[in-house]
Amino acid sequence: PVTVKKICCIGAGYVGGPTCAVIALKCPNIIVTIVDLNKSRIDAWNSPDFSLPIYEPGLVDVVKEARGRNLFFSTDVDKAIKEADLIFVSVNTPTKKSGVGAGFAADLNYVESATRRIAAVATSSKIVVEKSTVPMRTAESMRTILEANSKPGLRFDILSNPEFLAEGTAISDLFSPDRVLIGSLQTPEGLDACRSLIEVYANWVPKERILTVGLWSSELSKLAANAMLAQRISSINALSAICEATGANIDEVAHAVGRDSRMGPKFLRASVGFGGSCFQKDILNLVYLSESLHLPEVAAYWRQVVIMNEYQKRRFSKTVVDTLFNTITNKNITVLGFAFKADTGDTRESAAITLIRDFLSERAHVTIYDPQVEEAQIWYDLAEAIPDTPIEQIKKQVTIAPNALDAAKNSEAVVIATEWKEFIDIDWKAVYDTMNKPAFVFDGRMILNADALRQIGFKVKTIGRGEKI
């Protein structure tokens, strides 16, 4: 097998950036160049004061140590492709917005462009690694494109190496992954390419955690893992609705269920609904695949995970309206948290966006505070979520506040949409004093001590609890 000396990563986003920064850190003998067409993103990765384009705990330390040593960020895609022995394709694969499969299938335009670029400029053989989450058999399309467009005599071995990191914990996930999955063709050449990539990870990942499988199993495993994780959340959220209707407590139910060692305690936190760029996209992708394979029952089964998630978000905003005496028109609602989960500035598919859209359609005034999400991003997301309303109109109904206390001033209700730890430590008495009465808290993340808040005077509704407010 080839010993990898130079790696190119195409796509400097949430996956390509942290993943290949960690590879550079752990493999000082490999030169890693992360490239992107987006110049401002690359400039941010290269910024002298390390104001990186994504917020991820621990990431700055990794980049500080490796950048300029054996880690480089560049917009010169062609040069990095030419020099590399191994290329990660880590570009975005969003859900298609139009055309065949719109709303379900993955848009493979970026993967194809990156692949065509590799074919056009490569002057030596390469190992090409799918890092992006892709529909099954994408590796085959990549090979066809590479073989049809490259210079004669070059070999391209395609591997699938899906990424399992979660945002907010990306660096610790990458430092000690549960597993690294590598899929390859089971031919001598495919297995050799696989060995080359194993040697890269073996610099820090114990060998028994590096799983090798066939290409198609690897591609499907990534979709399967995300679908099954999301399914757990939809299951617990479905049960949270039963708890609210009956007086059971979803925390107690989740604890009791999760103590079964066959099930385990993780990923059983009821919430306002899952967000993030992956779960919904990858399930819809699986639904599309199942339909294409003429398996409608399988498609319907997975689709229900997304339907339940939509229901959970809708149900929560309805609870807010119902509790506030069936109208929030002209009322001030404070939304704490805009990111799709804590410890990230990422807002893709954040449940907060859906809740705020619902509140605005009831003609409420909404004040938002998030510790990481930038103002421009909030306006961008709201404009996209409410396309029929001009942004000037949205801005009349929405305020962005610099902290939680300011955000809550003169409001009727505080809604917790993201589980940021700092929301637990807020001076809730001070918040109460500035709010209109009765003052309500809607805890969509089960992070607050409801009894302590009630002592202060708040009326509190927590997801998954049927108790009196």
> Binds 280, which of ligand UDX, ligand NAD, none (CB < 5 to 8 A, cut-off by type)?
none
Q: Closest by alpha carbon to 418, among 272, 311, 301, 281? A: 272
Q: Whats the size of the chain, residue-wise?
A: 469
Residue placing its CB nearer to ligand NAD in the complex, 114 or 453: 114
Contact string 151-180 vs ligand UDX (x = CB under 6 A):
------------xxxxx-------------
DSSP tally for the chain: helices H, then strands E: 18, 14
**Window 106-125: residues binding ligand NAD (CB under 6 A):** 110, 113-114
| Distance in Å, CB of 42 to ligand UDX, minimum | 23
Q: How far apart are CA 454 and CA 434, in angstroms?
A: 16
Q: Which is nearer to ligand NAD, 11 or 444 (CB)?
A: 11
Give dist(CA 417, CA 36) in Å, integer. Answer: 32
Nearest residue (CB) to ligand UDX, 26 versus 341: 341
Q: Report CA-CA distances (Å) from 183 to 7, 9, 191, 195, 281.
A: 18, 18, 9, 11, 22
Is residue 457 within 8 A of residue 428, CB to CB? The reply is no
The C-alpha atoms of residue 461 and residue 351 are separated, in whole angstroms, by 18
Q: Which helix (H) or strand (E) holds 298?
A: helix 296-323
DSSP state of 346: -
20 binds, among ligand UDX, ligand NAD, none (CB under 5 to 8 A by kind): none
In the bound state with ligand UDX, the residue whose beta carbon lies nearer, of 331 and 345, is 345
User: In this chain, which of 274, 420, 440, 458 binds ligand UDX, going by CB under 6 A?
Assistant: 274
Instruction: Give the residue carrying structure tokens 């059971």.
Output: 248
User: How many whole angstroms separate alpha carbon 84 and alpha carbon 74?
Assistant: 14
383 CB-near residues (< 8 Å, 6+ apart): 391, 394
Instruction: Quote the radius of gyration of the chain (alpha carbons, Å).
Output: 24
Q: Which of 7, 8, 9, 11 binds ligand NAD (CB under 6 A)?
A: 11
Cα distance between residue 121 and residue 115, in whole Å:
10
Using CB under 6 A, pick the residue from 7, 8, 9, 13 that binds ligand NAD. 13
Q: Is 271 in the site for ligand UDX (CB under 6 A)?
A: yes
**Residue 277: CB minimum distance to ligand NAD, A:** 5
Q: Indicate the SS3 state at residue 418.
A: coil
- Residue 334 interacts, among ligand NAD, ligand UDX, none and using kind-specific CB cut-offs from 5 to 8 Å, with none
Residue number with CB closer to ligand UDX (167 or 443) = 167
| Residue 107 binds: one of ligand NAD, ligand UDX, none (C-beta under 5 to 8 A by kind) | none
By beta-carbon proximity to ligand NAD, the closer residue of 205 and 278 is 278
Cα–Cα distances (Å) from 268 to 6, 259, 302, 450, in that order, read: 41, 11, 18, 20
Question: How many Å apart are CA 305 and CA 130, to the nearest integer?
Answer: 26
- Quick note: the x/- pattern for ligand NAD over 321-360, rule CB under 6 A, is ----------------------------------------
Fill in the per-residue mask, 79 to 98: x = in contact with ligand NAD (CB under 6 A), - = not in contact: -----------xxxx-----
Least CB distance from residue 107 to ligand UDX, whole Å?
Answer: 18
- The tally of CA atoms less than 13 A away on the side-chain side of residue 354 is 23
- Which string of x and - marks every residue 24-63 that binds ligand NAD (by CB under 6 A)? -----------xxxx--x----------------------
Name the residue number minimizing CB distance to ligand NAD.
13
The β-bridge relationship of strands 210-214 and 398-400 is unpaired
Catalytic site residue 9? no
- CB of 277 vs ligand UDX, minimal distance in Å: 7
Alpha carbons 293 and 291: distance in angstroms, whole number = 5
List, by residue number, the catalytic residues. 278
* Residues that bind ligand NAD in the complex, under the rule CB under 6 A: 10-16, 35-38, 41, 77, 90-93, 110, 113-114, 132-133, 163, 165, 167, 277-278
* Residues that bind ligand UDX in the complex, under the rule CB under 6 A: 163-167, 226, 229, 233, 267-269, 271, 274-276, 278-279, 340-341
